[in-house]
Amino acid sequence: MSVNQTDPMIGRLIDGRYQVRSRIARGGMATVYLASDLRLERPVAVKIMHGHLADDENFKERFIQEARSAARLAHPNVVNVFDQGQDDESAYLVMEYLPGITLRELLQDHRVLTPEQATDILEAVLAGLAAAHRSGIVHRDLKPENVLLADDGRIKIGDFGLARAASANTATGAALLGTIAYLSPELVTRGVADTRSDIYALGIMLYEMLTGEQPYKGDQPMQIAYQHANDTVPMPSAVNPRVPPELDELVLWATARDPDQRPRDARAMLDHLFELQRGGATGGVQKTMVLPSAMAPVPPLQRTTGPTGPVPPSGTGETFGGSTGDTQILPKGRHRTGPVVPALSENAEALQKKAGRRRRRGAVWLVIVIVVALVALGTALWFNVGPGAMASVPGVSRSSVSQATSTLTADGFAVSKTQEQRYSTSVPAGEVTGTRPRAGATVHKGATVTLIVSQGPRILSFPQVTGHLEATARAALKNFTVKASSYQFSNQAKNVVLSVAGTTSAGADEDLGSASTYREKGPVTLTVSLGPVPDVTGKTVSDAQATLSAVGLVGDQTASSYSDTVAAGSVISQAQANQGTVIKGDHIDLTVSKGPAPITLPDETGKKVSTAEAALKALGLKVTYADCTTVQCSTASALGFDWRKLVKVQSQSPAGKSTVHKGDTITLTYDGSAISVG
């Protein structure tokens, strides 16, 4: 998607209720937007099916199925669905909005989770999935992308787009749905899914949380599918030795190739997890506290009785003799001074031992309490002000490297001296486009953050599109941002590109007609021909104006003139009102004919016919008269005279001083008998 193009859904009001604010994510079937429910005044997530799938009834039914499946569930660990409908041919559903991240993003930031973290997430997902299984719904697409971790600590399952009724046990047909990395063997081999298929996917997710990787890898999806169908998932502890045996067994149980060897549903697996946490009959992860050896209590005084008095056990200490034959035993390395204590009676010795045990137990508990307090204090200091304290990486995008470094340093992070370089069409070269870990990620204070610095847009080869059709040019410019074209009339054929323009990095206009390179996603404007301006000369004014209007031009009758060749009321000539480029909406000046110019007819009466004829023809008039057939005319012609030079005009029609027009015919009369020859 082009960075410079705006999503048309942003700002749109759906069904008169949901105002779209921004885009959250885009998937294969739909795009999710953040919107405001204007009726209840709360933020919601609106999932809108892609427009190109609107005509596909199978996709549409699957989309509606998600709404129905999720709407049947009411559980704290399942994303709530509030509404579903259709607006302008776009199917949509309205869901609970959870600010936060997905489990996939958490794994990208931290890779491996602790057993405690993995168990917490597993417990929440199992609880939500158990509600679905109890309602007869199989999710069929469990993966880290569909586990949402809200900022307030809630964990929820979303995206029931592939959910089906558990009782249906239907096959997927020719194509396997879901993500290949989490498909159960029965889905791969038989295309059949039930509640145990969800358990298998959850077992793969638990393996990934504990090890930071998926159990099966391959260059092709079929390689991974083959391993799901034929191999046994290894124990997570083979990759991460810190994984306890109980979680190893839980992963192996959930990912058994035979569905009958797995938990029957999420409830059964959740109950087993509770037993592990309680340390029940099936085993559990016991959390025991071991005292440091330096704080172990001193062994108590030991006594035993021999033939002549108390006798030390072999190798336990030193012997001191007294006059009474009594022997007192002290731990090795300790020396006693003073008189020897006489032997106690059996009752007194029993009471003394009992009191000693009570004192020792009290001392042990005191030591335990002190140690626990110190551990708690140390933990609090570690996670609040020490190296173990957590903090969110601040957003430093679109700031300079020095500004970003100062911001991160002030928040207690270290900034790596090595920077990542990345091309960007939206962030100027030299500015920060992001960080690794990403902005908003929760990491330890003092963690090292790597800056991702923009190199600006890539410089690409620029195609020559002048002289090509507009559609061909736009296809060739797919790596650039082609804006709305400019159109003008020209002598070129319609839809042919006349010129191409862009802007420099400083924002100045740039002619790209002869450019060989240009920056990626740079703005491009095409100037396209509308074809020649129609020629309307010779047409009537109304016809000429209609012809011009059909192509977006306005014909104005601005002048009129006499014309000997163009009929009155028709266009003699045309010209654009303003000099320069002609575009739609421009005015064309029309000069309209008034017909031939009027002529005042001269009086040719009394003039020789030849003289009159010449004068009238010089004015553009036509002359007619009867041929002379008299004897005098014949005689004159025989003698070589032009009889028209001998006879005079007796009258003319029309008469002299009449108004005529060029091309009119004037009739002359004469008397041939008046010819005098010789």
In percent, the amount of the chain with pLDDT more than 90 equals: 52
Polymer length in residues for the chain:
678
In the predicted model, is pLDDT for residue 427 greater than 60?
A: yes
Higher pLDDT, 366 or 499: 499
> Would you state the pLDDT for residue 133?
93
User: Where are the extended beta strands (E) located within 38-88?
Assistant: 42-49, 81-87
In the predicted model, is pLDDT for residue 490 greater than 50?
A: yes
What DSSP state is assigned to residue 644?
G
Distance CA 104, CA 181 (A): 13
pLDDT digits (tens, 9 = 90+) for 16-32: 899 999 998 887 778 89
What DSSP state is assigned to residue 50?
-
What residues form DSSP beta bridges with 283?
280
Q: How confident is the model at residue 360 (pLDDT cuts 50, 70, 90)?
A: low
What DSSP state is assigned to residue 175?
S
Q: Tell me the pLDDT of the chain averaged across its residues.
A: 81
> Would you state the pLDDT for residue 674?
62
> Would you state the pLDDT for residue 358?
55
Active site residue 141: yes
> Would you state the pLDDT for residue 29?
74
Interval 238-258 mean pLDDT:
95
319: left (phi over 0), alpha (psi -120 to 50) or beta: beta
pLDDT digits (tens, 9 = 90+) for 629-674: 777 777 777 777 888 888 899 999 999 899 898 888 999 999 876 6
Interval 235-245 mean pLDDT:
94
Q: Which distant-in-sequence residues (6+ apart) come within 8 Å of 133 by Cβ?
A: 166, 195, 198, 265, 266, 267
pLDDT digits (tens, 9 = 90+) for 26-79: 877 788 999 999 999 999 999 888 877 666 677 777 767 767 767 778 899 999
> Would you state the pLDDT for residue 633?
77
> Would you state the pLDDT for residue 543?
95
Q: How confident is the model at residue 131 (pLDDT cuts 50, 70, 90)?
A: very high
Higher pLDDT, 565 or 345: 565
Q: How confident is the model at residue 362 (pLDDT cuts 50, 70, 90)?
A: low
Distance CA 27, CA 539 (A): 60
Q: β-strand 155-157 against 147-150: which pairing, if any?
A: antiparallel
pLDDT digits (tens, 9 = 90+) for 559-600: 999 988 899 999 999 998 777 889 999 999 999 999 888 999
What is the H or E stretch that residue 354 is in? helix 346-384
Distance CA 196, CA 255 (A): 9
Both structure tokens of 563: 């014309």
- 3-state percent helix, strand, coil for the chain, nearest multiple of 5: 30, 25, 45
Helices (H) and strands (E) in the chain, counts: 14, 34
Task: Taking the CA atoms of 8, 13, 19 and 25 in sequence, report the sign of the dihedral they define.
Answer: negative
Angle between helix 266-278 and 115-134 (nearest 10): 140
Q: β-strand 481-482 against 442-444: which pairing, if any?
A: unpaired
> Would you state the pLDDT for residue 301?
34
> Would you state the pLDDT for residue 294?
29
Distance CA 437, CA 107 (A): 11
Q: Could you give phi then psi for residue 641, rounded to 5 degrees?
A: -95, 145
Q: Per mean pLDDT, which range of 162-176, 349-363, 596-610 is the poorest?
A: 162-176
What is the H or E stretch that residue 436 is in? strand 432-436
In the predicted model, is pLDDT for residue 236 greater than 80?
A: yes
Interval 376-389 mean pLDDT:
63
Both structure tokens of 52: 């190109």
Confirm if 30 and 54 have CB atoms less than 8 A apart: no
pLDDT digits (tens, 9 = 90+) for 284-328: 443 322 222 322 333 333 333 333 333 333 333 333 333 333 333
> Would you state the pLDDT for residue 351?
43
Q: Specify the pTM.
A: 0.43
> Would you state the pLDDT for residue 21?
94
Distance CA 676, CA 584 (A): 74
Distance CA 564, CA 191 (A): 89
> Would you state the pLDDT for residue 172?
43
> Would you state the pLDDT for residue 165?
47
Confirm if 512 and 466 have CB atoms less than 8 A apart: no
Both structure tokens of 79: 């994303």
Cα–Cα separations (whole angstroms), residue 667 to 618, 648, 673 = 15, 13, 19
Distance CA 19, CA 36 (A): 5
Which residue is associated with the tokens 């602790």? 114
What residues form DSSP beta bridges with 487?
528
In the predicted model, is pLDDT for residue 199 greater than 90?
A: yes
Measure the CA angle with vertex 581, ends 576 and 584; round to 5°: 75
Distance CA 658, CA 603 (A): 9
Single out the catalytic residue among 88, 141, 219, 671: 141
Higher pLDDT, 346 or 269: 269
Higher pLDDT, 216 or 346: 216
Distance CA 325, CA 164 (A): 89
Name the CA dihedral angle for 374, 378, 381, 383, rounded to a multiple of 10 degrees: -130
In the predicted model, is pLDDT for residue 550 greater than 70?
A: yes
Cβ neighbours of 79 (radius 10 Å): 22
62 by DSSP, 3-state: which?
A: helix
Q: Which distant-in-sequence residues (6+ apart) come within 8 Å of 572 by Cβ?
A: 537, 561, 563, 566, 591, 592, 593
Confirm if 568 and 561 have CB atoms less than 8 A apart: no
Confirm if 9 and 47 have CB atoms less than 8 A apart: no
